[in-house]
Structure 1
Amino acid sequence: MKPSMASASAFAVTSMAWLAVFGAVSADPKPIIETQALLCQPAFEGGPFRVTEDCVDPTYNVPVFTSETDETSPVPHRRVSGYFNGTKADFNFYLPPPELFKGRFFQHVYPIQDSNARPERVAFGAESGAYTVNVAGVGGYRADAAAAKLSRKVAAEYYLGHSGRIYGYIYGGSGGSYVTAGAMESTFGVWDGGMLLIQGIPMSNPNNWPVRALAGLFLEHQKKNIIDALAPGGSGDPFSVLSEDEQAILKEATALGIPLSSWEAFDDVGRNGMNMLGFFTPLVSGAIQARDPSYPHDFWSKPGYIGTEDSSLGDAFRNALVSFNSTVRNVVLGDGGLPVSAVLSNVPDSTSTLGLVFTIHGANFSAPVKGQLQPENNTLTIDPTSDETVLATLKEGIIVQVDNRLFLSGFALYRHQVPPVQDGYYGYDILRHPDGTPLYPQRDTLMAPLISQGASGGVLHSGNITAKVMVLQTLLDYDAWPWHADWYKRRVKTQLGDQFDNNYRLYYMENGFHYIESPQLEPPASGRVVPSGGHIEQHLLDLSDWVERGIEPPKGSEYTIDELSQVHLTPDVTRRGGIQPLATLTVGGANRTHAVVGEAVTFQLHVEAPPGTGGVVSTEWDFEGTGVYTALDFGRIGPMVETNVTHTYEKPGTFFAGVRVSSQRDSDPETPFARVWNLARMRVIVE
């Protein structure tokens, strides 16, 4: 392959030449290596595959290259595309011009991503002297590993002037953290380092969504009071406005891991928790039906479960129960002669549509049908993936049973899925007696680790990492809980012993939700949180320097964990570690102030970057808390900024003024890359 950036047509012949070398485009594709002795093998029967730099995966062993094109967007690069024959794993390699290449690649992973890399990742890679690898998620790390090894061969041919090892770095967030953990524990020499973002652990799913959903359901009527307590300038103590039963539920949800401060965005945490549980009904309900089908019946009929509990919580669940029969009054048929919708004779007022199950009852049969209920017009819209034989029975006069028993039982699933004490999941102590025994009846099957193994390629999160690893966890994340990263850190430390500091870093990030990169942050969420894309980029650069040049990265975050499993960063910026600047916003030393319409309010901003992490390069203001920022001059770029800014409010109301600040390792205010953000907010009451 020629290293010049020519047009696609100019290198077509060259492309076919190296495609043939690497295995590919033919009617009869051949494996790269056919020697059985070099095939990758499971660590043990039924266990995760051990993938080395030299072995060949028996599934992902025949690459088929489909195209090679020169692209100009988002930056000039050569794009090489293909797939592994006989699989659903396709891939793309994005190679910047040879003059930019510094001998590395970055590879983002996620279980359900496609093979097209996001433009900002390609641009950052090129800026950092790296090519970008992106593989369609197919579960586990094996396809990603095969593509990583293949990319080195393609890059070695393209970058003919490069000598020495091509270093590789894998990273992924949320579900991608499972893939990355699997890669870091079960591959050798494939990648030289990895980053786990917003890390999930073996007890995360399907437990995390139910915790949010249960608390959201029970505390919904206290939403306003909880938000006021947790918003800037509030008391900070939402427990003080709750009843004893409500306090117990918030305490349970907090100890299990939901960041207490995140409830300021109550609908995102609670209401959306219920929505997510509804959206992921196939995962949660599917897991229940496949592995513990008697659980919903027990939930509504046996002692020890909320469905039978004589309490305000039990009352809340019974009040949320939807269960009724209705007669089909009219059926609308589609082009194929099968029903597309049915009008029901009755639907009770205020019927929730989340998690409903529809069952057709005939004279001699009962069968489920998929669909969505529209209570406003009593219409059941049929899911076209429903069983056609069942749909053929859906006629006028037939009975349809509607209920959400399975869905609601899923809210409390986590109470009956408590892991063993010896596994170290200390957040679950809230669900145990002092002697370690569970408070509630336990089911025979612990579901979450089985789901985790499916995402991670069978890896058990032992902590026995085989390359340098960094973890970035956000402190407002109500999906990937902060203490989960600390749990994994402890396992890594146990495995590595005195080599721990040479191979692992955990960084906590303030004011970040379950977001990975900046394009996802739009108003109003942007008024409360900051993007983490710059964090990720700088950590990848630090990781590559650590591996390639032996440069120690910034020290990991210094923090404490309280009795409710809440993570608290050390307030002293010189000790707390990490790379995030610390910002405070006050008026007269307080984070709450009163003013009258037309009065000038003078804000005091203090920003300080941790030692050795660069200078503050921007301050952006949002005086009314809308999530829309305006950049204002703050004076000289440096590791510490202090400035006063005055704003006049022209209307009454309560405003959550905010300032978003960023630092950059090279103190470069012009570059969009590796800008590390933080946020400071306060309450302004204008009368």
Structure 2
Amino acid sequence: MAESKQAHMELAIQVDGYTVTDSAFGNPYIDRDEWRDTPYPHRNIHGGFAGCDTRFTFYYPPAADYKSRMFQPIEGAHAGHEDAFDGLMGKMLGGLPMIVRLGGYMVESNSGHIGDSLDAKVGPDPTVYGHRASVETARFSKYVAAQVYGEAPEYAYVWGGSGGGRRSPLCLEYGAGVYDGALPFMGGGPIDEHGTTDRIRSEQPVHFGCMFNVQRLLGDDIKLVIDAMRPGGSANPFVGLNSHQREELNSLYRLGYPRGDEFMISEPMGQIWLWTSISDMLQEEDAEYFANFWTKPGYVGFDNPEYVQDDLINCRVRVRKVITVGELLQSPAFAGSEYARAKPMAMMMAARGADFPLAVQLEGMDDGYLLGTGVKVLTGEAAGRQLYCTSFAEDVLFCDGRNEANLLRFTGVKPGDEVQVDNRAFLAFCYYYRHHVSDDPANDFLRLDGVPIYPQHDMPLQSPLMGVAYSGQYDGKLLWIHHTHDASLWPPQGVIYRRAVELAQGEQGLSENFCLRWTQNAEHVPPAFLPSSPDRATPTWLVDYLPHIEQGLADLVDWVETDKKPAATNYQFVDGRIVLPDSAAERMGVQPVVTITANGSSRVEVERTGSVSFELHAAVPPNAGSIVSIEWDWLGQGQFEEAENLQRAKDELHITKRHSFDKPGTYYVTAKVISHREGDLNATFRRLSNLASVRVVVAE
């Protein structure tokens, strides 16, 4: 590797010959150029464009690994970091090692801004943050690649999930001549004419309020809903709920929340971050709604105060202790399960240092509902800073906020400082969806004869960091991947871009340039990064989708470079949900299809030591490869300790197994089936999985 390093680093990069295409950006500069051996040997180049906040990192592996391709991942959420895929996000979604396997170098941009703050030069221009900063970065990376490898890449691909799925299609739409293909996953948003420069008005954040409301109203009753919708449950989620709980849960399903993912209603993950980032903006731009909610007929806060009064908090209290990232991750005092929700964020914030202040312990707080509550610093060095609670454990609040507050959190806050804790805005947001109804058919239940049931306000503007609306107009190929169990970008968001392409390019363009795949039983992040229920581990009902993304990128490469179109998934969109065909031959796509029964049913009750017969059927869609592994988890704890010893890969399998249980309890027996495109039993990557479970109740 020493020879590769020497050859790779012998020429200094020249930037003077590059002329920016986009006048929003000054001349490029490089402030770091060094060899790194991890996570894969590469030349690491960092820099930016003069006069603005756009920063970039280029990752160039040795020439032997380069197959004349560029891959640019777009960070999720609001972006703001040029090294996200060099850390935890790379582990979750694929970083440089995956790009090397695909024959490319990797490009990252901070999407034109640092953290959650707007660039002072360009202000609230959504085109810069949505695509222009990424496109100019990609152009410059090609200029540098020509010096590193002796030639610029022949092909270029842009991809990303969540906020990256929001913005990566924009890069293809507005980066003509820069990119050849795009792979957004878990994206979504509105459609407008190509060339728009307006900030988007999106309903997805609006609908999150309904999810938060269901969590708030149901409390422990959410366990009834989870049980009903699990394998072997009643499939009736409304049993045992009062009328208002039923009403709000029904609204949530009608808006598109995925059936079978009810556990995540009680674990709001990244959605609560979005509230913290837009709350101030909503209250500024839609102040009338937040006032009317408490003072006007037609709004719950005025008409039915009993629905919110027990949860109200509005008090002035003191800070007892400021808690750092290092303390949260390392101190035994924060090892309890009540802090589990905050750990993933703390790991992502670890790059800011172990001393970065992420949370506060407060004294003298009123009882009430803490999630989403506002925390405003009133005294001390940080006076005036507005934050919002993303998770909590008793009197410890973890918070985030907009712009500078996102970067600073509790920096400068000291014990004894006073804060105002006020959740009135969040409680109003819980019913926001009723009063911001779009023309999407999913909202028809909130209208009668076209007339909205509740008083209406304009759909709120979203952060300029989310870019502009989709147009569906682009040169190149686009493979969209969406997940059936995504609690952050619900299934209805997965069908929007198809309509945009059809409107912009017609049936022929839709057929030639667009493909949609569904990944069944996948969430917004891989199960390893999600909490588990005490009686059922998350990996027994959710799959890791990273192999599906890598296979998708490989298929996108084949589509662009050899005109081999990827296999799409057949589906129906019915009553706010995605319905997939039962058989692999009908469903198509690339994921194996799995079913399992226990004594012929989805639920069985047996005496202790009683034997249960399990029947598994699994099949792979045509031309999608073969089954290479079957793994069993008999206790539903995510261990998958027993594996079938397959002597050769198969397209379809029928297996009958018997198993006995020697302890009473409820077990979600799960079979996970893994396929591989080449049928390689020993393959390490692109192992595509799906699973199915049954419920076994063992008597005392």
Looking at structure 2, the residues matched to 521 and 379 of structure 1 have their Cα atoms a distance apart, in angstroms, of: 20
Instruction: Output aligned runs, 1:500-539, within 5 Å.
Output: 500-515=510-525, 520=529, 524-539=537-552
Number of aligned residue pairs: 610
Task: Identify the match of residue 158 of structure 1 among 136, 143, 148.
Answer: 148
Partner in structure 2 of residue 223 of structure 1: 222
Residue 444 (structure 2) pairs with residue 429 (structure 1): yes
Unaligned 5+ segments in structure 2 are 113-128, 191-201, 323-358
Aligned residues of 2:603 and 2:696 also touching (Cα < 8 A): yes
Q: Which amino acid aligns with 2:425?
A: L
Q: Percent identity?
A: 28
Partner in structure 1 of residue 482 of structure 2: 473
Partner in structure 2 of residue 582 of structure 1: 593
Residue 373 (structure 2) pairs with residue 355 (structure 1): yes
Runs of 4+ in 1 over 6 A off after TM superposition: 330-333, 340-344, 371-386, 398-401
Looking at structure 1, the residues matched to 73 and 367 of structure 2 have their Cα atoms a distance apart, in angstroms, of: 47
Give CA deviations for 1:437-481 in whole Å, capped at 9, x if unaligned.
Answer: 2221112x4214x43x5312xx22122233211111111111101
Looking at structure 1, the residues matched to 552 and 473 of structure 2 have their Cα atoms a distance apart, in angstroms, of: 21
Q: Which amino acid aligns with 1:680?
A: A
Q: Which amino acid aligns with 2:11?
A: S
Residue 592 (structure 2) pairs with residue 606 (structure 1): no
Under a length normalisation based on structure 1, what TM-score does the superposition of the two structures give? 0.80
Residue 496 (structure 2) pairs with residue 487 (structure 1): yes
Partner in structure 2 of residue 129 of structure 1: 103
Residue 509 (structure 2) pairs with residue 499 (structure 1): yes
Under a length normalisation based on structure 2, what TM-score does the superposition of the two structures give? 0.79
Instruction: Output aligned runs, 1:277-292, within 5 Å.
Output: 279-292=273-286
Label 1:113 to 1:521 Cα distance change in 2 as closer, same or farther (>3 A).
farther
| TM-fit CA distance, 1:608 | 0.4
Partner in structure 1 of residue 167 of structure 2: 179
Partner in structure 2 of residue 407 of structure 1: 426
Q: Which amino acid aligns with 2:54?
A: A
Looking at structure 1, the residues matched to 311 and 209 of structure 2 have their Cα atoms a distance apart, in angstroms, of: 15
Aligned residues of 1:278 and 1:355 also touching (Cα < 8 A): no
Looking at structure 2, the residues matched to 219 and 193 of structure 1 have their Cα atoms a distance apart, in angstroms, of: 44
| TM-fit CA distance, 1:248 | 2.4
Residue 52 (structure 2) pairs with residue 87 (structure 1): yes
Residue 20 (structure 2) pairs with residue 6 (structure 1): no
Partner in structure 2 of residue 36 of structure 1: none
| TM-fit CA distance, 1:210 | 0.9
Residue 638 (structure 2) pairs with residue 673 (structure 1): no
Residue 671 (structure 2) pairs with residue 659 (structure 1): yes
Label 1:659 to 1:341 Cα distance change in 2 as closer, same or farther (>3 A).
closer
Q: Secondary structure at the match of 1:484?
A: helix
Label 1:318 to 1:60 Cα distance change in 2 as closer, same or farther (>3 A).
same
| TM-fit CA distance, 1:400 | 7.8
| TM-fit CA distance, 1:659 | 1.6
Looking at structure 2, the residues matched to 521 and 352 of structure 1 have their Cα atoms a distance apart, in angstroms, of: 21
Looking at structure 2, the residues matched to 67 and 187 of structure 1 have their Cα atoms a distance apart, in angstroms, of: 27
Q: Secondary structure at the match of 1:176?
A: helix
Instruction: Output aligned runs, 1:1-150, within 5 Å.
Output: 6=3, 14-16=10-12, 19-20=13-14, 22-23=15-16, 32-33=18-19, 56-110=21-75, 111-115=79-83, 116-117=85-86, 118=90, 120-138=94-112, 139-150=129-140
Looking at structure 2, the residues matched to 477 and 380 of structure 1 have their Cα atoms a distance apart, in angstroms, of: 24
Looking at structure 1, the residues matched to 285 and 644 of structure 2 have their Cα atoms a distance apart, in angstroms, of: 59
- The more displaced of 79-88 and 672-681 is 79-88
Label 1:155 to 1:522 Cα distance change in 2 as closer, same or farther (>3 A).
farther
Residue 566 (structure 2) pairs with residue 553 (structure 1): yes
Instruction: Output aligned runs, 1:306-321, within 5 Å.
Output: 306-310=300-304, 314-321=305-312
| TM-fit CA distance, 1:584 | 0.9
Looking at structure 1, the residues matched to 489 and 189 of structure 2 have their Cα atoms a distance apart, in angstroms, of: 9
| TM-fit CA distance, 1:200 | 2.3
Label 1:549 to 1:371 Cα distance change in 2 as closer, same or farther (>3 A).
closer
Aligned Cα root-mean-square deviation (Å): 3.7
Looking at structure 2, the residues matched to 607 and 663 of structure 1 have their Cα atoms a distance apart, in angstroms, of: 10
- The more displaced of 627-636 and 675-684 is 627-636
Looking at structure 2, the residues matched to 209 and 280 of structure 1 have their Cα atoms a distance apart, in angstroms, of: 9
Label 1:471 to 1:58 Cα distance change in 2 as closer, same or farther (>3 A).
same
Aligned residues of 1:208 and 1:479 also touching (Cα < 8 A): no
Label 1:289 to 1:543 Cα distance change in 2 as closer, same or farther (>3 A).
same
Partner in structure 1 of residue 694 of structure 2: 682
Q: Which amino acid aligns with 2:436?
A: Q
Q: Which amino acid aligns with 1:6?
A: E
Aligned residues of 1:5 and 1:77 also touching (Cα < 8 A): no
Aligned residues of 2:372 and 2:388 also touching (Cα < 8 A): no
Q: Secondary structure at the match of 1:294?
A: helix
Looking at structure 2, the residues matched to 381 and 637 of structure 1 have their Cα atoms a distance apart, in angstroms, of: 49
| TM-fit CA distance, 1:413 | 1.7
Q: Which amino acid aligns with 1:114?
A: E
Instruction: Output aligned runs, 1:290-439, within 5 Å.
Output: 290-310=284-304, 314-324=305-315, 347-349=365-367, 352=370, 354-357=372-375, 370=386, 402-419=421-438, 421=439, 425-433=440-448, 435-439=449-453
Q: Which amino acid aligns with 2:306?
A: D
Looking at structure 2, the residues matched to 172 and 180 of structure 1 have their Cα atoms a distance apart, in angstroms, of: 6
Label 1:99 to 1:471 Cα distance change in 2 as closer, same or farther (>3 A).
same
- Compare CA radii of gyration and give the structure with the larger one: 1
Q: Which amino acid aligns with 1:272?
A: E
Label 1:113 to 1:233 Cα distance change in 2 as closer, same or farther (>3 A).
farther
Aligned residues of 1:206 and 1:447 also touching (Cα < 8 A): no
Q: Secondary structure at the match of 1:496?
A: helix
| TM-fit CA distance, 1:69 | 3.6
| TM-fit CA distance, 1:181 | 2.3
Q: Secondary structure at the match of 1:15?
A: coil
| TM-fit CA distance, 1:531 | 0.7
Aligned residues of 2:360 and 2:397 also touching (Cα < 8 A): yes
Q: Which amino acid aligns with 2:583?
A: D
Give CA deviations for 1:228-267 in whole Å, capped at 9, x if unaligned.
Answer: 210111121213444444332222111111112211x1xx
